[in-house]
Each structure stands twice: as C-alpha cells, then as structure tokens.
Amino acid sequence: MNLTKKQTREFMTFAESVARGSGRILKAGFSRSKKVNYKGRIDPVTQFDLRSEKYINDRIAGAYPEHSVLAEEGSGQSQDSPFRWIIDPLDGTVTYAHGFPVYSVSIALEYKNTPVAGAVFDPERGELFLAGADIGAFLNGKRIEVSTETKLQRAMLATGFGYNIATARINNLGYFARMAKKAQAIRRAGSAALDLCWLACGRLDGFWEYHLHPWDTAAAALIVRQAGGRVTRINSERYSIFDNNILASNGRLHRQMKQALTGR
C-alpha cells in the first residue's frame, strides 16, 4: 500500500508543527548561557539540543506511538513499523554554541525506507522549508524551485567539513581547494540542512560534503528533489542518507561539479 497525497499532507503538517515548536526552544536558548559537552574532539552538544530532541520525541510518541524514530542524540523509539522519523534537533550545534545565527531543526518521515515528508526550520529567519513526495517543495507556504544556472564559474556553492577533519583520510580540504578554482564562490555556513534548503530555493546552485549522518540530509534531500534538484553521491551513483558523501545541485551543474571534484 502506498500513501495517499492526503496522508502525505497530514504528515507534512505535523512535521511543520513539530519543527516550529522545536525551533522555539532553540531560539529561546540562543542568547542564553549554554552548557556545552563534547561527544568528540570538536563535536559539541548543548542542553538545548537535548531539550529540542525530547520535545520532538514526545510529540511523535504522542501522535504516532507505533512509529520508529532515529535521532542524532540517540534517543527515540524502535518499533516494527514501516514508518520511521529521522530527526536532527539542532543541525549546526557548533555555530549555535558560539552564538553564530545559522542553525536549524530537521524532521523527516520515511515510509518503507522511502522519504515521504520533510521539514527544516530556521528559527533565526523564521523560514520553514517543507516538502512531500510528489507534492512539491515550499518555503513558508510558497512553492520553491532550484536555480537555472548552467555555468560552474558563475555558481555559488556550499560545503562543510566533518568533525573528523583532523583524522579522516578524506577531509574535504583538497576538494574545497579544487572546487574553489572552478566556481564563482563557496560558502561554509555550518548547517548542511540549511545549505540544501538554500539550494532548493535558488540561493545556492550546488552543495557537496563528506561524513554527514542520516539526520543531516533526510529532510533536506527530499526538499531539494521536490524543488527540481538532483541529489546523488559524489560519483553520481544513487544516494542514500546512510552514504558518507553527497552531491546536490540544480541538476544543470551536476556533471560539472562531479568532474571538478573527481577529475572525471
């Protein structure tokens, strides 16, 4: 059985409501003193990550107790269900902890391992990106589309660097240098989910990164695709949110970006 568009829209509405509620928690804590702990050398978590995640889990458990949840901080529920929510209660914890206003909440729903609904909320700008399978992508209720740029030398791109940058064999530094010689500009803002959403609405023309996690891209990759963009692995093979690299573009630049990164 496949979901109807009515069911998908209901999940989209729920994801939007939860993302906005979680975003209010983060916004309220943004200018306050933060207790920062570290899961790794440069991988922080604040008390507001945890409050946001608890809020999201409680909302999902209350509305859909039979659904599974995959969450960044390890909470959630494991059920034998075709539905799985994939949540990032705070994408951009480093920027958030430093008071740099680029961070987001990401909430996605999979049905039988296929993304069907996704919401990404930017509390600082009040922007809610939303998408549903075969329904489209939207920013604050208005339909969005990717850019029409066709030349890499005129493109503005985004990327990021993993928390394992000091130890990983592939740390993106060489790829950044290679792409910087080809594109008009590259930005590194600190939230992969927002980078992808900005690609979806035409503010950026392309994005790539290594060492992301499922919750970083589950909602935003759906938003890009529903806005007319393309999402693959860097070698142009089929992308899964469990892959460790991603290449996203407006579609028109995909081959040029892949060639710039891989040399072929």
Shared domain check, 157 and 139: no
When divided into structural domains, the chain yields a total of: 2
Shared domain check, 66 and 100: yes
Torsion sign (Cα): 162, 207, 195, 51? negative
- What would the pLDDT profile of 57-83 be if each residue is shown by its tens digit? 999 999 999 999 998 766 556 678 999
How many helices, marked H, and strands, marked E, lie in the chain? 7, 14
Q: What is the DSSP letter of 2?
A: P
Shared domain check, 178 and 48: no
User: What pLDDT was estimated at residue 162?
Assistant: 73
Task: Say what the pTM is.
Answer: 0.94
Shared domain check, 106 and 165: no
**5 pLDDT above the threshold of 70:** yes
Q: Which of 125, 143, 161 is the last residue of a domain?
A: 143
Shared domain check, 231 and 176: yes
Stretch 118-147: mean pLDDT: 98
Which residues share a beta bridge with 207?
158, 248
User: What pLDDT was estimated at residue 75?
Assistant: 58
Stretch 21-34: mean pLDDT: 87
Shared domain check, 191 and 68: no
pLDDT higher for 48 or 158? Answer: 158
User: What pLDDT was estimated at residue 42?
Assistant: 46
Shared domain check, 139 and 9: yes
Q: What are phi and psi of 187, to 5 degrees?
A: -120, 145
Return the percentage of the chain with pLDDT > 70, whole number: 92
Classified as helix, coil or strand, 119 is strand
Mean of per-residue pLDDT scores for the chain = 92
**CATH, residue 90:** 3.30.540.10
Dist CA 73 CA 54 (whole Å):
10
Dist CA 65 CA 70 (whole Å):
14
- What would the pLDDT profile of 206-264 be if each residue is shown by its tens digit? 999 999 999 999 999 999 999 999 999 999 999 999 999 999 999 999 999 999 999 88
Domain span at residue 165 reads 152-262
Dist CA 49 CA 42 (whole Å):
16
Q: Which of 143, 177, 197 is the last residue of a domain?
A: 143
User: What pLDDT was estimated at residue 80?
Assistant: 81
Shared domain check, 129 and 68: yes
**CATH, residue 232:** 3.40.190.80
Which tokens go with 226? 């529903």
Q: Which of 116, 143, 170 is the last residue of a domain?
A: 143
Which residues share a beta bridge with 87?
71, 107
User: What pLDDT was estimated at residue 216?
Assistant: 95
Q: If pLDDT is split at 50, 70 and 90, which confidence band does 173 have?
A: confident
